[in-house]
Chains A and B, each alone.
Chain A
Amino acid sequence: MSHDCCNDYTRSQLLRSAAAEAGRGLPAIEPGMPEPAGTGLSRRRFLSRSAGLALAVYGASKIPLSAFETGIAHAAGSDKILVSVFFDGGIDALSVLAPVGDPKYTTLRPKLAQAPGAGTSFSEDPTLQWHPAAAGLATLHEEGKVSVFPAIGYDHPDESHFTSRHYYEIGELDVGFHTGWLGRYLDAVGDEENPLQGLSMDGTLSPMIATAEKPVASIDSVDGYDLWSAAGEPVDKEMFKSFAKFGSLGSDSPAMNQVRRATSQTDKLRTELANVGKFNSQITYPDNYFAHKLEGLAAYIAFGLPMRVVTIRAAGGYDTHSGQAEDLERNLRETCEGLLAFQRDLEKRGLADRVLVEVWSEFGRRPEENGSEGTDHGAAGCAFVIGSKSKGEMVGEFPGLEKLDGNDNLRVTSDFRGMYCSLLEQWLEFDAAAIIPGASGFARPTLVA
């Protein structure tokens, strides 16, 4: 920075820069390192970011901040957490579980077909075989911890990413809805003061948890949520009070309302996440950002942060119109290895009975590959419900490639709204009729053991 006026400024800026570039929060501060002056980064906040103090605070289960206590008290009604993982772009279900036993498979996929035996056979339907990169899922499935939907979707499938994804996000086939299905759940059971109850970990809020009223949050980095300032103690406390006031004043337009809401939730989250420390996992996670977010999430749950619903995007993108084999292999591997490590971490921490993971995508891809060693948009896709409490049974059969739908796409054998109804009723213990329009019309698969 050309405007720095003293060395202390420069050093603090360098610290921030290093942190942000690593994407992994602030670097550890060595004991005895002096506090940078005039940066607004107080000793308390520095120390609380280092492992010992934060763990002491959380280890004792005594969270000093009043907002925090409120949040936990309200969250105490249910300690169940639902994590939603999204394969963005429409993952090729026929690659995740390849129908190597289907006679039409190699005809439709001359270049992309997997060799029989390349991956583990799927025990519930020997026609299917796990992608080698999905070994993490295969392992958990063998342990009875994964319910598989091999052909999920809805009638009259829409092949647009945005329309189909919107349907899944809102839990209804209606382009006009503005709240997510989990957002409506939070509106019904959530707390007025706790944005962490609905948390997106991708730097932007998932429409799935878009509420009408209750606060929800998103974070960029699991390593911390700090607001930089040159105000410095003790003046910064008063500054944040005024910032919170900006969030509470009246509004006369939707845009003003949006700013007010974001301001007030930002200030609350700042308080709630002020003391997040080291994750202290005893599991080694794979070295990628998706896995790192899951590692942070497991630690947040262990810290007792008051979350109910969490959304994360799977590693990479899945709109594989060309060069599918390579991209899918890499991204699917990162995702499945991360999910396996997350499950193991929860088991090690004794939290596995509190968490269920739902994995979904907006659609599957067309059975017949295109000319670019890729696949175009299709219809039925795959979904998974993972966790120690998962029933671990296939929902709806694999429909086969012999008979496709009118657009040459895979036929649907289960409806995503049925999955939502089951998750609401069996896991979150809430009446689906209040959340999913036409809930009574959907068969509820047993998803929770």
Chain B
Amino acid sequence: MAIPRKTKKPAQGKRHHRRKRRHVWNDKHWRWVPAADGDWRVQGYIFHHRHKPPKHHFRGPGPKPPRRVQPVAAPNPDPRPAGAYEGPWGVPQAVRLLDRAGFGARPGEAEQLVPLGLVGAVQSLTRPSGAATLSGPAPVDQDGEPIAPADSWGHDHLWWLDRMIRTNQPLVERIALVFHDWFATSEANVSKAQQMIDQSNLFRAAGFGSFLDLFKAVTIDPAMLQWLNGIENVKGAPNENYAREMMELFSLGADRGAYSEDDVREQARSLTGWRADWSSEEGMHDFRFDPKRHDVKSKTVFGQTGNWSWEDACRLCVENPLHPSFFVSKLWSYFVPGPIPTGTQNALIGTYTSSSWQIRPVLEAILMSPDLYEGPPMVKPPVVQLAGMLRRVNRYVDTDWWVWLCEEAGQRLFWPPNVAGWDDSRWLDTSRMRARWNITDVVLDGISVNPWSGSPYSTTETAEEAVAKAITSWGSPELRAEHQAELLDFARRAENLVAANWQKGPYRAMRQNALLQLIGVSPDLILQ
């Protein structure tokens, strides 16, 4: 309620004639006004001074007041490129990334990747800085002696397996494995293990760079020059072995119309000239280009005629219009199951050609693709599964059994089955599955308990406790519900076998061993 006025308002008519117009100074000022986004903005306005403003009169706007409303969405810390996976990014996705682009996650590793976001996580793998660090105990053989990768049978396999387990740059090892399969060279036809190791180091060093550079380096790599008879390919007596496989398997693919039988023969001539010497002490050594052995007449490859060299041979393959589609599809197949979708393939071809055949951008796009995170699983290659299992149980290379066990599982490193590499669609059959079972048993040495040992096992452990303990021992992998249910069912069935008091502890120990084994051979640990 308004307070009643005590004085009577003077009549308007009386004051009117007394009003006198006064001078006004119109002066531009600035002030803060609320903005639509919850912040403030500067607005200009005219202030009418009744007196002349002083010379340095303040015209605003003054310090900005505090923001009225905090922004609803913080600036996106994970800007994902177009076409990248857009779904949730958390531990399950990080686990899949580490499975496919490395050798699985040690307990806690996936959690560390999550705050980096998809892009950050992928780049942490594809853009490692400096040389790799290997942490943990160095590899030893059965007798605890340091391994001798260049000299002892099978130790080259152990040497690489150890790097997979201990490196802080897992994708460097994984991409080396990819190119070991891509340019599959076998020690069967190579005189020294060191030459195989050197070739794998080439893949480590060049695996993210230009494919053309890598292709050229592989073409004159000593192991490859022996494996596909490059040093026996001589002017006047060409050997077609490398010429054919460089197109069929390394850069263009068979049955696509990319090259003809004539191209094979002409490429062989371009590639002539490499040689080496042999001695019983050094094996094949001193690999070099000998111009006298090189065919300098003109050659016609893919319809282009010139006096082509071995470098031209590689370049012509990479410049062949059917190369980019071959490259991106093949690289894709190592990381994502099933055929590459046409749209994705075209996008990757664009990335590849616009970067002048750089591997890294294509690899990053593949590792960020929705199909990798939303699509079905793949079967882990045996060595990848073994390295991952040893990482899970925090074990290092301490036996050479891994050499022949991996061979039985179908993947002895440095000994691919043939120049086409390993067949990723045939990792599992009854003999290879048996080998994975037996590998699991050996991984569990030292974790499995002896039912008859002097220190008896718990006589009261419940089925639930037994399952939980076994899962923890494996570093808490994510198990499918139906597998967990079967493990629990087994644990109960095993307990029902106890018929006498003395069996309570030993049977529970056996049950624990069986649970560890079953988890190791469950699809959860075999798939990535």
Residues on A close to B: CB < 8 A? 1-6, 8-9, 13, 17, 20-21, 37-38, 88-89, 158-163, 175, 195, 200, 203-205, 207, 216-220, 225, 227-232, 234-236, 238-239, 241-243, 245-246, 249-250, 252-256, 258-263, 265-266, 269-270, 317, 321-322, 370-372, 374, 376-377, 407
Given contacts A246-B483, A370-B238, A372-B232, contact A232 B527 (CB under 8 A): no
Residue from A8, A89, A230 in contact with B513 in the complex, judged by beta carbons closer than 8 Å: A230
Query: Which residues from A are CB-within-8-Å of B449?
Result: 5, 230
Report yes or no: A262 in contact with B429, Cβ–Cβ below 8 A. Answer: yes
Q: Is the CB of A203 within 8 A of B408?
A: yes
Contact at A371–B450, with CB atoms within 8 Å?
no
A-B contact number at CB 8 A: 240
Q: Are B261 and A407 neighbours in the complex by a CB distance under 8 Å?
A: yes
Task: Select B497's contact among A3, A235, A242, A262, beta carbons within 8 Å.
Answer: A235
Cα distance A207–B423 when bound, in Å? 11
For B399, the chain A residues whose CB sits under 8 A away are 1
Q: Is the CB of A259 within 8 A of B510?
A: no
B232 CB contact (under 8 Å) in A89, A254, A317, A322: A322
Given contacts A38-B452, A204-B432, A266-B430, contact A13 B445 (CB under 8 A): yes
- Closest partner residue, chain B, to A210 (CB atom): B426
Shortest beta-carbon distance from B502 to chain A in Å: 14
Interface centre among B418, B497, B514 (most CB of A within 10 A): B514
Which 6 pairs of residues, A with B, have the shortest CB-CB distance?
A371-B237, A3-B446, A253-B376, A372-B232, A262-B428, A239-B514
A270 to B229, CA, bound (A): 43
Chain B 202-228 interface mask (CB, 8 Å, partner A; 1/0): 000000000000000000000000001
B52 at the A/B interface (Cβ < 8 Å)? no
In the complex, given contacts A2-B446, A246-B518, A262-B432, what are 5 additional A-B residue pairs having Cβ atoms less than 8 angstroms apart?
Answer: A1-B446, A38-B509, A161-B420, A239-B494, A372-B237
Q: Which of B374-397 contact A (CB under 8 A)?
A: 376-379
Residues facing A in B468-501 (CB within 8 A) are 482-483, 486-487, 489-490, 493-494, 497
Nearest chain A residue, comparing its CB with the CB of B398 = A2
Please provide the chain B residues from 429 to 451 with a CB less than 8 Å away from any CB of chain A in the complex: 429-435, 437-438, 441-442, 444-451
Between-chain CB contacts (< 8 Å), 18 pairs? A5-B449, A203-B432, A204-B432, A225-B430, A231-B511, A235-B507, A238-B514, A242-B490, A245-B486, A246-B483, A256-B523, A262-B433, A265-B430, A266-B437, A269-B430, A270-B434, A371-B239, A374-B232
- Could you tell me if A371 and B238 are in contact, using CB atoms closer than 8 angstroms? yes
Query: Among the listed A89, A236, A260, which residue makes an inter-chain contact with B514, where contact means beta carbons less than 8 Å apart?
Result: A236
Q: How far is the CB of B231 from chain A (nearest CB, A)?
A: 9
A232 and B513 contacting across the interface, CB-CB below 8 Å = yes
A225 vs B513: C-alpha distance in the bound complex, in angstroms? 21
Bound form: Cα–Cα A2–B398 in Å? 7
In the complex, B337 has a CB within 8 A of chain A: yes
CA–CA, A239 to B490, complex, Å? 7
A228 to B404, CA, bound (A): 15
Complex Cα distance A203/B410, Å?
8
Which residue of B has the minimal Cβ distance to A4? B445
Could you say which of B428, B431, B445 contacts A259, with CB atoms under 8 Å apart?
B428
- By a beta-carbon cutoff of 8 Å, the part of chain B in contact with chain A is 142, 144, 188, 228-229, 232-234, 236-241, 244, 248-249, 254-255, 261, 264, 337-338, 376-379, 398-399, 401, 404-405, 408, 410, 417-420, 426-435, 437-438, 441-442, 444-453, 482-483, 486-487, 489-490, 493-494, 497, 507, 509-511, 513-514, 517-518, 521-523, 526-527
**B237 contacts A241, C-beta separation under 8 Å:** no
Q: Which residues of A contact B398 (CB under 8 A)?
A: 1-2
Residue in contact with A220 in the complex, picked from B378, B434, B445, CB distance below 8 Å: B434
Measured CA separation A88–B101 after assembly (Å)? 33
Contact in complex: A163, B254 (CB < 8 Å): yes
Smallest CB separation, A200 vs chain B (Å): 8
Report chain A residues within 8 Å CB of B337.
253-255
Query: How far apart are B55's CB and chain A's nearest CB, in angstroms?
Result: 81
Assuming the contacts A229-B517, A266-B434, asked whether A371 and B379 have C-beta atoms less than 8 A apart, the reply is no
Residues of B within 8 A of A249 (CB): 482-483, 486
- Determine the residue in chain A with the shortest Cβ distance to B242: A321
Question: How distant is the Cα of A129 from the Cα of B27 in the complex, in angstroms?
Answer: 117
Of the residues A3, A163, A255, contact of B527 by C-beta under 8 Å: A255
Given known contacts A262-B428, A376-B240, A242 and B453 CB-to-CB distance under 8 angstroms = no
> Distance (Å) between the CB of A27 and the closest chain B CB?
16
A227: shortest Cβ distance to chain B, in Å? 5
Given known pairs A205-B426, A246-B486, A263-B433, the reply for A159 and B497 (CB within 8 Å) is no
